[in-house]
Amino acid sequence: MQKTLCIHPDDDMLVALTDLASGEIVSWENESILVTTPVAAKHKLARRAFAKGELLRLYGVPVGRAMQDIRRGEAVTTENLEHYAADVEITQTAPYTWTPPDMSSWQGATFPGVVRADGRIGTANYWLIFPLVFCENRNVEHLRNALEQPLGYATNDLAAYTLSLLGEDMEAPAQAVTRPFPNVDGVRIITHAGGCGGTRADARSLCKVLSAYADHPNVAGITVFSLGCQNAQIKMFKEELAKVNANFDKPCLIFEQQQWDSEEAMMKSVLQDTLKGIKAANEIKRTPVPLSALKIGVKCGGSDGFSGISANPTMGLVSDMVVAMGGASILAEFPELCGVEASLIERCENDDDKRRFLGMMRDFEAKAQAVGTSFAANPSPGNIRDGLITDAIKSAGAAKKGGTSPIVSVLDYGENASKPGLSLLCTPGGDVESVTGIVASGANVVLFSTGLGTPTGNPIVPVLKIATNTKTATKLKDMIDFDCGPVVEGKPLPEVAEDLFKMVVETAGGQYKAKADRLQQYDFIFWKRDISL
């Protein structure tokens, strides 16, 4: 087995593919290096000697500055390397050129999609329930519980196992309920901690994101709970919904609890009206649609030293394949694009997007510094432990998720990715905040790479978990949908990407169910930018 990997010819470091002991000699092509300190798998060793203050490169870009002299063959660690990202300015460059991947074998291919009245296409048909304020989370949960079991959407729980632990006989498994509405894929809920107590700006931001979810083509209709006195008023929600789609025409059932004398009476009315809406949603059936209807989001979380080598480049090629078919892709997580801004700016098709991207990055960093932190603090302890020791190292690998296609738009959180092609979306790096924003921008399938493992899902869009290594894919097989470990072992990346693209198409058509959906992992956290009052 090859013990090291050089990602880019200009790199100053090699990646350890396995644990390396001090005194070992490793080679890359015609180069041999004596390992001078132990190097853990996924971590890096110096390809040459460095003096204090010199810059080190990975993925062909500067990713850190030596805090002390580093010997050739020495492990590069948080003790001897600090984060570095070059300042970026917008300069005149030659127009970006791109050679799309060959998709001739997919020409004419379709998937069974959900076509809405306005022609937009979803990958599922859900009824969505959510509150405008956290006080109504309990009613949201009650309504979900009242619907899921009778409508055949509930999965097995641990109740029978609990009885066995208490010494009771396990109940015979109940006969599966025949779903009365087979064309409705499920009843999904959102609960959250917002809507009051913060600023009006955060309340409006929440309403904006909830409106984007309501308008998403994966949603047939909505049931909304309001308390009545909160910051996120019904009027505010309706205003944001009109901004998202002035022609919104889906069933929209809104109930304000302070207008009712009895919670039981309200809930019975909610249940009656919601069932009528679900019955109407059942009239919508999947029909064949072109692959240009795919709109994917790409995300990473629980990343490791193999993320930028296996899963992220594979997802990047899939992103290019979707774009080549006329579809759209969304690359988010601005703190994890720090250090690669110049290459992304070169790919922007228009100057306004170049300026907007750079402005958003600088504004984001300034706000982080204002509260005593910076992008440099982005890597988590797990990231660092598995080889991503600076934000620039993490970013250089994370950017690979966006492939190589031109960038057609730069979006703020909650804005819709309306153009075919690759869009940049301003989100934080946090898993759920980022996926929540990607879905609000219209993604109908999310690809999520992970080296360490994460269960993250979403209420209305399938989230496919892509492992960077076979060990994680095997250990966490109930979470992981696809294994990119073979890339590390030498399997050609295009072959792996072709298999992942097939899974994306099957997921979009409902033939494959994401592991997160099987686990009922429906996460939602909107990006709260202001303070609580």
Using CA atoms, how far apart are residues 71 and 36, in angstroms rounded to an integer?
8
Angle between helix 263-281 and helix 137-148 axes, rounded to 10 deg: 50
Contact criterion met (CB below 8 Å) for 234 and 254:
yes
Gap between the Cα atoms of 215 and 445, Å rounded:
16
Q: What is the secondary structure of 168-209 as a DSSP string?
A: PPPPPPPPPPPPS-TT--EEEE---S-SSSS-HHHHHHHHHH
pLDDT for position 162: 82
Q: Hey, what are 335's tokens?
A: 């703190």
The pLDDT value given to residue 325: 98
E-assigned strand segments in 42-145:
44-46, 55-58, 61-66, 75-76, 81-83, 110-115, 121-122, 126-131
Q: For residues 208 and 202, what is the distance between their CA atoms, to the nearest angstrom?
A: 10
Pairing verdict, β 25-28 and 31-34: antiparallel
Maximum CA extent, the chain: 81
List beta partners, residue 482. 466
So what's the pLDDT on residue 176?
Answer: 66
Alpha-carbon span 259 to 267, nearest angstrom: 13
Beta strands in 286-405 (DSSP E): 287-290, 295-300, 328-331
Q: Specify the pLDDT at position 175.
A: 61
Q: Is 8 helix (H, G, I), strand (E, B) or coil?
A: coil
pLDDT recorded at residue 198: 85
- Per the CB < 8 A criterion, the answer to whether 341 and 358 are in contact is yes
Q: Residue 386 has what pLDDT?
A: 81
Residue of 352, 310, 347, 259 lying closest to 473 (CA atoms) = 310
Query: What is the predicted pLDDT for the residue at 430?
Result: 92
Weakly modelled stretches of the chain, pLDDT under 70: 1, 156-157, 168-176, 531-533
CB atoms within 10 A of CB 238: 16
Rounded CA gap, 56 and 224, in Å?
Answer: 52
pLDDT at residue number 156: 67
